[in-house]
Structure 1
Amino acid sequence: MDFELSEEQVLLKDSVDRFVQNNYGPEDRLKLSQTELGFSREHWKQMAELGWLGMAFSEEVGGFGGGAVEVMIMMESMGRGLVLEPFVSTVLLGGTLVAEAGNNEQIESVIPSVIEGETMLAFAYAEQQARFNLNDIETTATKSGDNYILNGTKIVVYHGATADKIVVSARTSGNSRDADGISLFLVDKDAAGLDIRGYATVDGQRAADIRFDNVSVPSSALLGEEGKAAPFIERVVDRAIGALCAEAVGAMSAANEITNEYLKTRSQFGVPIGKFQVLQHRMVDMYMEAEQSKSMSDMVAMKLDLGHDDDTRKAVSAAKAQIGKSAKFVGQQSVQLHGGMGMTDEYSIGHYFKRLTTIEMLFGNTDFHLDRFSSLS
């Protein structure tokens, strides 16, 4: 595999790096995370103007035709700054589901406004009992004349409170863990019977629990064929996992640099603590974990651009398991090497630790993906 970036990819990386450098200093990020919105609409507008919100969409639906590799490049740079804007929620999850499962009318009514930064989306999939199983869905959608009636509760819907439209998975037939019988619906945020309760997450992001109480949506809100959404969901989530792996690589790289610099400046017994061999060995282990993760992230991005078969699924789970383990290790060691100050809000390393810990859990933790890898072998 060729891991060298093309000239266009280098330019993309440089533009995201500049955005992070200009807008995501530690104090800037902390202040932004403490606002009611939790991110900046001005930043979102800038992302749209730079073409980033259209990068992951094909040219057929009005995007710029970037693939998983381009998304990886962007997410790795965003991970270095712990960017808060809802790129994964709106573009990689909600937007991609509409683009791949929706009909022409749905695509034309949603995707251009997403690319222009005017519409934000969220994907409501997780439920209390599911434990990472994307097919474990008890939220129901019952046909009633020309409408569907949605009932159920979705939890930890990232950026669900700020989304203009919510893509929700619901069961139209079958038992609670069947792959068949799952459908996708596009629901407006102001639909009657929709109860959205937003909150801040431990990693500085925003999420919401959403209850559907006899929410009536027209048949035109159905994305794709009724009961056949599971393959779309799995494919889109696997791509999102690849993006999160890249984000973790960027966050690990930044955490290692911050920690290494701290070891050079923090003195004890009259010398910088970085002179102590045991701490040097610890830093070597942290850099090795980050480098292994970088290789896995690059590999899975290339696999995702080739298609979505069992080999790709195995690669996704292998990468998520390795990077989840590495993220936890680098985050924990970074905090430990900083001592108690590492967990203060005023110091950046604690925020990297929290985000890396969260990424390890999103869309399945290390143990879940080890089991998934084994089942596909």
Structure 2
Amino acid sequence: MNKLVLTEEESMLADMARGFLDGAAPVSAFRKLRDEGQTHDAKLWKEMADMGWAGVLVPEAAGGSDMGFAAANVIAREMGKTLAVSPFLSSAVIAATALRQVSDDRAMAALAKIASGDVTYALAVDEGIKHDPDASAMEAKADGNGFRLTGKKTFVVDGAMADRLLVLAKTADGLTLFDIPADRAGITRAQSNMIDARDAAKINFDDVEATGDDVLGQVDSAMDILKPALQAGQAALAAEMTGLTVGALDMTVSYLKERKQFGVEIGRFQALQHRAAHLWCETEVTASAILNAGRLLDSDPDNAEMAVSLAKAKATSTAILAVQEGVQMHGGVGMTDAFDMGFYMKRARVSAEWLGDYSYHAEKVAAARGF
């Protein structure tokens, strides 16, 4: 079987996810959350956890299904189609992947809480305007058997509502990853709703105590834990972006079939047909890149970096194309808040920046190919 075709199990998972999300999390539900000033739907996340989505990457021994990264990407893609709001990427993908790199009782207990939906995580890595974990300057000074964390983190997606934080900090001889409760003394979170109406916090750490037990993995060796987690998150985010691309495309095609000009449906105009066909082709190519990234993360994670960066870069360019074409082909109505296309555009813009923008990942692909 071609590895870039969904398996029967993955197709069933996609159908199940689509059926649930169409009823429980349509775009109208997202609009309602936005209008009410909410950035998180706790009830929806609990329902997702009860369906096993929160444990898709959690080992069976910790109460998860351990279906793998390709399956996680299938779920993320379906969520993107309706812009469903949840901590799936932050908790079920990024945090779960980081924790499963550590085979101890504490990590297994944390994974079990993720799978049940009882605990949510956020990744506190970036400090500047662009994604660059290696440039983290937040300091973790040795203090007895522990550390004291001082500094700031920005663009912490789901950071205002998360129960725990994965925090990257600079230690004596490298970078160290900490797993700490978000309400620990010295932590101040400032919620900053992004343009897509989702939660991204700015977090200040003022002499925050971290014990040796709070270190995830080994001191000065954060990337051993963080790199697989980032790649999993980047692949799933790319899948979500492909979902929003499909959502925007479907909305646009439906409009082309209904809107009349000069007594004729505008979908009959050859110029618009060509643009829609081009976007569909780009969507299919992107979907293959996403599936390839998931397959490699499952089968050969040590060599998946180029595939993941290719998927994120391609998903970014295709999503931006989809929302731009969607707005233009809808004409004036595409620019109004009363129409849902604007939500897709805003989500695409935010997702393009999170976990590395197009240039960041294009440079990784170029480097991997020897350029």
Q: Could you state the TM-score of these two structures normalised by the residue count of structure 1?
A: 0.93
The within-5 A match list for 1:1-377 is: 1-101=2-102, 104-128=104-128, 131-174=130-173, 181-309=174-302, 311-377=303-369
Could you say what secondary structure the match of 1:278 adopts?
helix
Q: What one-letter code is carried by the residue in structure 2 that aligns with 1:110?
A: A
CA deviation profile, 1:295-334 (whole Å, cap 9, x unmatched) = 111111111111223x421111222222211111111111
Deviates more, 1:231-240 or 1:148-157: 231-240
Deviation at 1:7, TM superposition (A): 3.9
Q: How far apart in 1 are the matches of 2:360 and 2:335?
A: 28
Over residues 173-221 of structure 1, what are the superposed CA-to-partner deviations in whole Å (9 max), with x where a residue is unaligned?
24xxxxxx11111121221111100121112211100000101122211
Point out the more displaced range, 119-128 or 268-277.
268-277
Query: Counterparts of 1:25 and 1:13 in 2: how far apart (Å)?
Result: 16
Match of 1:178 in 2: none
Query: How far 1:143 sits from its partner (Å)?
Result: 1.3
Structure 2: stretches of 5+ with no match in the other structure: none
Distance 1:376 1:43 in 2: 40
Change beyond 3 A, Cα 1:151–1:199: same
Deviation of 1:4 (Å) = 4.1
Separation (CA, whole Å) in 2 of partners of 1:35 and 1:19: 23
1:91 Cα offset (Å): 1.4
Change (3 A) 1:315 1:263: same
Which sits farther off after the overlay, 32-41 or 131-140?
32-41
Does the aligned pair in 2 maintain the 1:61–1:99 contact within 8 Å?
Answer: no
Q: CA deviation at 1:230?
A: 1.2
For 2:26 and 2:312, the matched residues in 1 are separated by: 28
Q: Which amino acid aligns with 1:33?
A: R
User: What SS does the corresponding residue of 1:274 show, helix, strand or coil?
Assistant: helix
SS in 2 for 1:223: coil
Question: In structure 2, how many angstroms separate the alpha carbons of the residues matched to 1:91 and 1:351?
Answer: 24
- Structural RMSD (CA): 1.6
Q: Secondary structure, in 3 states, of the residue corresponding to 1:135?
A: helix
2:150 maps to a residue whose letter is N
Q: Equivalent residue for 1:177?
A: none
Q: Distance in 1 between matches of 2:131 and 2:6?
A: 34
Query: 2: CA distance between counterparts of 1:159 and 1:373?
Result: 28
Q: CA deviation at 1:71?
A: 0.7
- The answer as to whether partners of 2:217 and 2:225 remain within 8 angstroms in 1 is no
Equivalent position amino acid for 1:227 in 2? D
**Unpaired stretches in structure 1, ≥5 consecutive residues:** 175-180
- Residue 359 (structure 1) shift: 2.1
| Partner SS for 2:100 | helix
Please identify runs of 4+ aligned residues in structure 1 that moved more than 6 A.
none
Output the amino acid matched with 1:292: V
SS in structure 1 of the partner of residue 133 of structure 2? coil
- Following TM superposition, by how much is the alpha carbon of 1:257 offset from its aligned partner in structure 2, in angstroms? 1.0
- 1:50-90 Cα shifts (integer Å, max 9, x gaps): 11111112234432111111111111111111110110011
Matching residue's letter, 1:86: P
Tell me the matched-pair count: 368
Asked if the contact 1:98/1:106 (under 8 Å) is kept, the reply is no
One-letter amino acid of the structure 2 residue matched with residue 34 of structure 1: D
SS at 2:284 equivalent:
helix
Cα distance change on mapping 1:36 and 1:96 into 2, 3 Å: farther
Contact 1:263 1:272 in 2 (8 A): yes
* Whole-angstrom CA distance in 2 between matches of 1:112 and 1:15: 23
On the 8 A contact 2:122/2:159 being kept in 1, the answer is yes
- What TM-score comes out, normalization by structure 2 length? 0.94
Percent identity, aligned pairs only, is 30
**Per the alignment, do residues 166 and 35 of structure 1 end up closer, same or farther by CA in structure 2, a change over 3 Å counting?**
farther
Q: Distance in 2 between matches of 1:64 and 1:339?
A: 45
CA separation of 1:52 and 1:366: change in aligned 2, threshold 3 A = same
Deviation at 1:36, TM superposition (A): 4.3
- Local SS of the residue matching 1:226: coil
8 Å Cα contact 1:76-1:247 kept in structure 2: yes
